[in-house]
């Protein structure tokens, strides 16, 4: 398994991520970029051909990207899901659990710190997009 | 041991990890690695504000239940790290006003030793879940609501998807037709109910709130099975996280989304999301519910008869005002008023907290509750002990007999402590309680609620009489509102007209209460008379 | 006229710019000129916040009183003194 900032073994996608609008008009595009206000469910019919979905975080306080990521994973998207922009150390763990598997922070984050932040929590109370066993499941075997 | 949830290794490790994380974040802030802008949401998620005089720490009291050991720790923190007191809030939490940033991780460490924390007591996340202060002992409840509040507490803690919501998110869970938690003024209000078939479930309300645009939450689902509380909540939160407004923080609460979308369309979107969530199995199994419920099983009550001696007239006054019926014969719930006449509503000194802890241990099966009206409750007192309890409360200055009466005023910290304030709240409460306490028994149930600005932390929209502090050209000014309620007869108060200065608003309250005394019919409370007569005669009395 | 205030980063204490450092007493405050220059309001605040000598600095309108600057707005006077309902606490209690 590769590690920070990309948690995937397949080759990185080299094609540029196009806007959602452009993507919906270009049947050959395999990489798309999602802005916070977009409805990611518009991508659902096209998930099979997508290799990269980049979700923009123009400001870290805007948490819409977390829902976007989870929806994509719930819908079965298997490709690369990248968090780009105002991506900060203390948000990485949440992002990972929502299904992001690559990161492009505007300000670089040291690999060691990123790994430590993602391992911070010994347990999790909820199910999530990466198959975490929640605390309630640990309690009841 | 108190009847309450107890941490297992998982809960304890989570809280400990959180303290370690925050210690690291504080270090990074002090060393300059984090800017204040980056640090602010992190400290807020640990209840740490930068307030008027210092840092302020808000500690969670989950659904308002405390053991005596926890109350002792709250006293200890007040002594060790603050200036010897704390302020109980309308969301059943406690705030310390003079905290130093460098001490904050140590305080959280101390709290963790008694299974307490300040997690998500602020910030744009799911906040501490509030409940009925009489949970577990109220005669009118269908079940104890706290196990379900605990279930949701765990679900909402460090939620990966919902930690950067458009705005704060407050949930209340009750389980009786009587609403003692202002349930419908929350982002989500949950009322535990039984279906006709006798199945336990929840009626969900969404989109209530106070602040500058107060709204009463409409019902979004009549019945959610008890096994699906998590997935249904998740559905609401997802709709809100995706579509709640982020362009204007005054329009970012879920109430605005529900209002702008329309309750029907909002409900449809939530149902759609709920439907999609079914195959994900997000809900803990029945065994987990049973595990949590077991902690709240009724304690070992003795077999007693109802009835106690009220010959002592002072004791009788207190018992009439502050003692509430209990579902078990021979027991009662006793309110400890934190509203001494002329005092600061909701403040308690470390000594008083220690005394309350001690009384809880000796008289109340180790339990204390915090109410949204900023008082404390000893929920499990033997009726035969009430007189002795009262004598000890009296001696500690905690025996004010005024529950739900005119001097039992809710007041936010206002300009004395809060950097967002436009005017002081506390001095108005002090003057009003002095003015009205002499005739408060005649006035009967009267809920006066004061906020120092439009954010409405003092629930002024839900006051029978509400007072809102505003800034009029740099001078403190107060608007008067009438006719609100945060109870099962929920309603929003209306402004009477032009505002008053501090003494003027005290006079104005007296004027409207005089009108009530003249006009009331048999059995009417102030708010009933107002509802029958409407605003006009009150306006007339105030402005001529 | 303006003076500068903020909070001590570590302790949270309310502090006022004296011309050479930060004091808990508003009477020690120095009037400053508006502007971006190194010895003008924005310049001082930027420098002092960057070095973490102060947190959350901002400008406050004030008048020249007998004992030194007096903030114009009641909120700032409250910050300078301590809560009006607890005269036993805050700078006001220190005599
Ligand atoms: C002193 C620091 C405090 C600050 C900075 C603060 C800030 C705020 C703000 C900004 C709002 C409006 C939120 C909105 O409408 O979106 C609010 C609402 C509220 N606060 Fe506070 N507050 C403080 C203290 C308190 C205290 C002491 C209490 C309890 C006594 C409290 C309870 C509430 C409640 C019940 C609401 C209304 C909830 C709603 O809008 O639905 N707050 N607060
Ligand atoms: S209502 Fe306003 S003044 Fe009162 S505590 Fe809330 S924010 Fe502060």
Is the beta carbon of B413 within 6 A of some atom in ligand 1? Answer: yes
| Residues B410-419, mean pLDDT to the nearest whole number | 96
Do the Cβ atoms of A99 and A70 come closer than 8 Å? yes
Q: Are residue B429 and residue B523 in the same domain, yes or no?
A: yes
Give CA–CA dist B367/B456, Å, rounded: 30
Provide the greatest CA pair distance for chain B: 67
ipTM over 0.90: yes
Structure tokens given for A91:
């948000």
Phi, psi of C47 (to 5 degrees): -65, -45
Radius of gyration of chain C (CA): 13
In a 13 Å sphere around the CA of A73, the CA atoms on its Cβ side amount to 23
Beta bridge mates, B367:
B67
Nearest to C60 by CA among C76, C40, C42: C76
Query: How many percent of chain B have pLDDT more than 90?
Result: 97
Give CA–CA dist B353/B321, Å, rounded: 22
Pairing of β B94-99 and β B85-88: antiparallel
Whether residue B132 lies inside any domain: the answer is no
Which residues, 6+ apart, have CB-to-CB distance to B172 below 8 Å?
Answer: B129, B130, B131, B181, B182, B183, B186, B188, B189, B190
Q: Are residue B156 and residue B259 in the same domain, yes or no?
A: yes
Do the Cβ atoms of B217 and B186 come closer than 8 Å? yes
Structure tokens given for B483:
């006719």
Q: Is B478 helix (H, G, I), strand (E, B) or coil?
A: strand
Query: Which of B349, B369, B395 delimits the end of a domain?
Result: B395
> Is this model's pTM higher than 0.90 or not?
yes
Give CA–CA dist B91/B427, Å, rounded: 21
Do the Cβ atoms of B445 and B405 come closer than 8 Å? yes
The residue to mutate among B453, B454, B456, having the most atoms of ligand 2 within 8 angstroms of its beta carbon, is: B453
Give CA–CA dist B541/A32, Å, rounded: 66
**pLDDT at residue B13 tops 60:** yes
Output the CA–CA distances (angstroms, integers) from residue B119 to B27, B85, B93, B156, in the order listed: 18, 21, 12, 10
Beta bridge mates, A32:
A18, A53
Do the Cβ atoms of B156 and B164 come closer than 8 Å? no
Q: Is B245 helix (H, G, I), strand (E, B) or coil?
A: coil
Mean pLDDT rounded to a whole number for chain B: 96
Q: Are residue B235 and residue B96 in the same domain, yes or no?
A: no
Q: Do B161 and A140 touch (CB under 8 A)?
A: no
Is the beta carbon of B411 within 6 A of some atom in ligand 2? Answer: no
Burial class (CB in 10 A: 0-12, 13-18, 19+), B263: middle
CA angle B441–B447–B449, rounded 5-degree value? 135
Q: Are residue B243 and residue B331 in the same domain, yes or no?
A: no
**Tens digits of per-residue pLDDT, B269-279?**
999 999 999 99
The number of C-beta contacts closer than 8 angstroms across B and C is 66
Nearest to A128 by CA among A53, A66, A70: A70
Query: Which of B343, B370, B395 delimits the end of a domain?
Result: B395
Which residues, 6+ apart, have CB-to-CB distance to B239 below 8 Å?
Answer: B257, B266, B269, B270, B273
For chain A, domains (ranges, CATH) are 18-140 (3.20.20.70)
Burial class (CB in 10 A: 0-12, 13-18, 19+), A48: exposed
* B422 CA closest ligand 2 atom index: 3
Output the CA–CA distances (angstroms, integers) from residue B310 to B185, B314, B325, B385, B397, in the order listed: 38, 9, 15, 12, 20
Q: Are residue B451 and residue B381 in the same domain, yes or no?
A: no
Structure tokens given for B17:
């990890």
Q: Which residue has the tokens 């003795």?
A: B302
Give CA–CA dist B414/B425, Å, rounded: 5
Pairing of β A18-19 and β A31-34: parallel
Beta bridge mates, B58:
B95
Search chain B and give the residue with CA nearest A118. Answer: B21
Structural domain harbouring B473: 410-543
Give CA–CA dist B383/B319, Å, rounded: 10
Residue owning the nearest CA to atom 3 of ligand 1: B418
Q: Are residue B441 and residue B537 in the same domain, yes or no?
A: yes
Of A36, A64, A121, the CB nearest to B158: A121
Residue C21 CB coordination number (10 Å):
12
Burial class (CB in 10 A: 0-12, 13-18, 19+), C23: middle
Nearest to B425 by CA among B85, B61, B89: B89
Give CA–CA dist B509/B443, Å, rounded: 12
Q: Are residue B145 and residue B102 in the same domain, yes or no?
A: no
**Tens digits of per-residue pLDDT, B353-387?**
999 999 999 999 999 999 999 999 999 999 999 99
CB of B14 within 8 Å of any CB in chain A?
A: yes
Total tally of structural domains belonging to chain B = 4
| Residues B282-310, mean pLDDT to the nearest whole number | 96
Chain B residues with beta carbon closer than 8 angstroms to that of A139: 8, 10, 288, 291
Do the Cβ atoms of B157 and B119 come closer than 8 Å? yes
Q: Which residue has the tokens 């993602």?
A: A118
Of A68, A125, A140, the CB nearest to B158: A125
Whether residue B307 lies inside any domain: the answer is no
Give CA–CA dist B312/B246, Å, rounded: 59
Is the beta carbon of B213 within 6 A of some atom in ligand 1? Answer: no
- Answer whether the bond into residue A127 is a cis peptide, omega within 30°: no
**pLDDT at residue B391 tops 70:** yes
Query: Which of B395, B418, B446 delimits the end of a domain?
Result: B395
Q: Do chains C and A touch (3 or more CB pairs under 8 A)?
A: no
pLDDT at residue A2, rounded to an integer = 52
Residue B93 CB coordination number (10 Å):
23
A73-77, B53-57, B403-407, B472-476: segment of lowest average pLDDT: B472-476
Give CA–CA dist B349/B75, Å, rounded: 7
Per-block average pLDDT, block size 10, for chain A (141 residues)? 84 92 94 97 96 97 97 97 96 97 96 92 96 97 78
**pLDDT at residue B523 tops 60:** yes
Burial class (CB in 10 A: 0-12, 13-18, 19+), B370: buried
Search chain B and give the residue with CA nearest A68. Answer: B242
N residues, chain B: 544
CA of residue B380 to ligand 2 center, whole Å: 33
pLDDT at residue A1, rounded to an integer = 45
**pLDDT at residue B442 tops 70:** yes
**For chain B, give me the number of helices (H) and strands (E)?**
17, 20
Whether residue B118 lies inside any domain: the answer is no
Give CA–CA dist B119/B58, Å, rounded: 9
Of B41, B238, B280, the CB nearest to A127: B280
Q: What's CA B271's distance to the chain center, in Å? A: 29
DSSP string, B319-388: HHHHEEE-SSTTEEEEEE-S--TTS-TTEEEHHHHHHHHHHHHHHSTTEEEE-TTS-EEEEEEEGGGHHH
* CATH code for the domain of B523: 3.30.413.10
* B211 CA closest ligand 1 atom index: 15
Chains that touch B (3 or more CB pairs under 8 A): A, C
Is the beta carbon of B401 within 6 A of some atom in ligand 2? Answer: no
**Tens digits of per-residue pLDDT, C20-55?**
999 999 999 999 999 999 999 999 999 999 999 999
Q: Are residue B197 and residue B264 in the same domain, yes or no?
A: yes
DSSP A122: S
Q: Are residue B286 and residue B155 in the same domain, yes or no?
A: yes
Nearest-neighbour CA in chain A from B13: distance (Å): 7
Burial class (CB in 10 A: 0-12, 13-18, 19+), C36: exposed
Starting at the edge strand found earlier in the chain, the sheet holding B55-59 runs B48-50, B55-59, B94-99, B85-88, B347-349
CA of residue B415 to ligand 2 center, whole Å: 8
In a 13 Å sphere around the CA of B56, the CA atoms on its Cβ side amount to 20
Do the Cβ atoms of B324 and B333 come closer than 8 Å? yes
Whether residue B121 lies inside any domain: the answer is no
Q: Are residue B288 and residue B141 in the same domain, yes or no?
A: yes
Which residues, 6+ apart, have CB-to-CB distance to B369 below 8 Å?
Answer: B64, B65, B66, B133, B134, B135, B376, B377, B378, B379
Which residues, 6+ apart, have CB-to-CB distance to C56 below 8 Å?
Answer: B36, B50, C6, C7, C49
Residue spans of alpha helices (H) in A51-99: 64-74, 92-98
């Amino acid at each position: 398994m590769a590690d920070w900032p990309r948690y995937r073994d397949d080759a990185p996608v080299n094609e540029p991520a196009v806007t959602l609008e452009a993507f919906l008009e270009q049947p050959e595009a395999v990489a798309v970029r999602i802005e916070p206000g977009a409805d990611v469910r518009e991508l659902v019919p096209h998930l099979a051909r997508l290799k990269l979905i980049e979700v923009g975080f123009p400001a870290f306080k805007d948490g819409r990207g977390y829902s976007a990521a989870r929806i994509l994973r719930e819908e079965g998207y298997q490709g690369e899901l990248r968090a780009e922009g105002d991506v900060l150390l203390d948000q990485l763990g949440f992002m990972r659990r929502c299904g992001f598997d690559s990161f492009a922070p505007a300000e670089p984050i040291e690999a060691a710190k990123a790994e430590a932040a993602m391992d911070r929590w010994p347990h999790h109370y909820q199910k999530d997009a990466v198959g975490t066993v929640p605390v309630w499941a640990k309690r009841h075997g | 041991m108190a009847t309450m949830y107890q941490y297992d290794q998982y809960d304890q490790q989570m809280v400990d990890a959180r303290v370690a994380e925050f210690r690291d974040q504080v270090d990074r802030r002090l060393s300059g690695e984090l800017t204040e802008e980056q640090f602010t949401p992190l400290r807020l998620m640990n209840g740490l504000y930068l307030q008027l005089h210092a840092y302020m720490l808000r500690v969670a009291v989950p659904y308002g239940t405390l053991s005596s050991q926890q109350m002792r720790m709250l006293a200890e923190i007040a002594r060790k790290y603050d200036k010897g007191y704390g302020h109980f809030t309308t969301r059943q939490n406690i705030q310390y006003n003079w905290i130093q940033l460098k001490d904050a991780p140590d305080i959280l460490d101390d709290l963790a030793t008694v299974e307490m924390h300040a997690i998500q007591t602020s910030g744009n996340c799911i906040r501490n879940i509030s409940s009925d202060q009489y949970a577990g002992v109220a005669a009118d409840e269908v079940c104890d609501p706290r196990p379900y509040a605990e279930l949701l507490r765990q679900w909402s803690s460090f939620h990966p998807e919902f930690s950067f919501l458009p705005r704060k998110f407050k949930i209340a869970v009750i389980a009786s037709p009587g609403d003692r938690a202002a349930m419908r003024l929350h982002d989500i209000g949950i009322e535990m109910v039984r279906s006709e078939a006798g199945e336990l479930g929840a009626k969900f309300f969404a989109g209530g709130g106070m602040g500058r645009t107060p709204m009463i939450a409409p019902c979004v689902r009549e019945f959610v099975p008890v096994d699906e509380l998590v997935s249904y909540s998740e559905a609401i939160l997802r709709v809100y996280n995706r579509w709640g407004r982020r362009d204007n923080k005054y329009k970012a609460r879920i109430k605005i989304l529900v209002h702008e979308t329309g309750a029907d369309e909002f409900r449809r979107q939530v149902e759609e999301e709920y439907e999609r969530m079914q195959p994900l199995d997000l809900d803990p199994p029945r065994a987990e519910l049973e595990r949590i419920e077991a902690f709240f099983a009724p304690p070992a009550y003795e077999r007693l008869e109802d009835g106690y001696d009220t010959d002592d007239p002072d004791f009788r006054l207190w018992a009439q005002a502050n003692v509430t019926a209990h579902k078990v014969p021979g027991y009662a719930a006793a309110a400890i008023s934190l509203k001494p006449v002329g005092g600061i509503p909701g403040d308690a000194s470390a000594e008083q907290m220690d005394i309350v802890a001690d009384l809880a241990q000796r008289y109340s099966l180790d339990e204390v509750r915090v109410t949204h009206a900023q008082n404390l409750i000893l929920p499990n007192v033997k009726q035969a002990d009430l007189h002795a309890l009262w004598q000890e409360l009296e001696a500690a200055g905690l025996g004010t007999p005024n529950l739900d009466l005119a001097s039992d005023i809710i007041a936010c910290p206002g300009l004395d402590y809060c950097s967002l304030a436009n005017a002081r709240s506390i001095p108005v409460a002090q003057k009003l309680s002095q003015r009205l306490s002499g005739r408060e028994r005649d006035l009967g149930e009267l809920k006066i609620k004061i906020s120092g600005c439009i954010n409405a932390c003092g629930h002024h929209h839900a006051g029978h009489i509400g007072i809102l502090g505003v800034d009029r050209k740099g001078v403190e000014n107060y608007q008067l509102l009438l006719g609100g309620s945060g109870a099962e007869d929920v309603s929003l108060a209306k402004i009477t007209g032009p505002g008053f200065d501090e003494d003027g608003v005290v006079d104005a309250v007296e004027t409207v209460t005089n009108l009530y005394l003249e006009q009331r019919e048999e059995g009417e409370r102030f708010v009933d008379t107002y509802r029958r007569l409407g605003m006009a005669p009150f306006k007339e009395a105030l402005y001529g | 006229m303006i003076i500068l205030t903020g909070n001590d980063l570590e302790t949270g204490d309310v502090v006022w710019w004296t011309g050479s450092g930060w004091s808990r007493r508003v009477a020690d405050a120095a009037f400053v000129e508006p502007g971006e220059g190194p010895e003008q309001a924005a310049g001082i605040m930027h420098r002092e916040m960057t070095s973490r000598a102060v947190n959350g600095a901002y400008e406050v309108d004030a008048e020249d009183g007998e004992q030194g600057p007096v903030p114009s707005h009641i909120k700032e006077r409250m910050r300078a003194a301590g809560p009006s309902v607890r005269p036993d606490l805050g700078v006001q209690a220190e005599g």
